A = this chain, B = another copy of it.
């Protein structure tokens, strides 16, 4: 599907917009099939809403929990109030690579609907500055997480939604700029490389719900 087709496709399926403030439509969307073959599947859009839905519909202990008990609030806070400050630093480093990966129609759509300058390569000096800023930011996060030891997830022993949000960030960086991801993986004695491997392992080992 082309990026420019997401809105019309989701409207066709009867899926609402992902934001209350702006009428924009986003992927991922899940289609949870009904047990009644005559009833159409339940569609849920927006990753946090999908996670809440899955935890409700496929509850622990039979299925793994995405949110440890009582942590939906703090995770929503981290994802919506804190993570944007990290993304603002990181994405200018990889956005300019996007035209190499995306088809022309989707790229034209993005240039029309976003500030076109975010896809221009950064001047060398600014790129170095951004990279240092990113490294300092990650050093601060790593130092905090060290309080739970080397092999923890963001919320402690158990992986949860916030790890998948970090995973999404690392996936984007790795896809668009694998050299940048190699650097990040080495920062703080390899803490982020180790973390990213453990988050990927969850996806690799996840089984489908039957």
Contact = CB atoms under 8 A, between A and B. Distances in A.
A92 B69 CA distance: 36
A74 interface: yes
Residue among A52, A69, A148 with most chain B CB within 10 A: A148
A129 to B, nearest CB: 20
A106 to B, nearest CB: 31
A77 to B, nearest CB: 4
A76 interface: yes
A132 interface: no
Nearest to A71: B156
B148 A73 contact: yes
Given A82-B81, A82-B82, A73 B140 contact: no
Dominant secondary structure at the A interface? helix
A154 interface: yes
A146 interface: yes
Nearest to A82: B82
Nearest to A81: B140
The range of chain A's interface size is 20 to 34
Interface in A32-82: 52, 69-74, 76-78, 80-82
A158 interface: yes
Given A70-B148, A72-B148, 9 more contacts: A69-B156, A70-B157, A73-B144, A73-B147, A73-B148, A74-B155, A76-B145, A77-B141, A77-B145
27 contacts: A69-B157, A70-B152, A70-B156, A70-B157, A71-B155, A72-B147, A72-B148, A73-B146, A73-B147, A74-B74, A74-B144, A74-B148, A74-B154, A74-B162, A76-B143, A76-B145, A77-B144, A77-B145, A77-B154, A78-B78, A78-B82, A80-B140, A80-B144, A81-B82, A81-B140, A81-B141, A82-B82
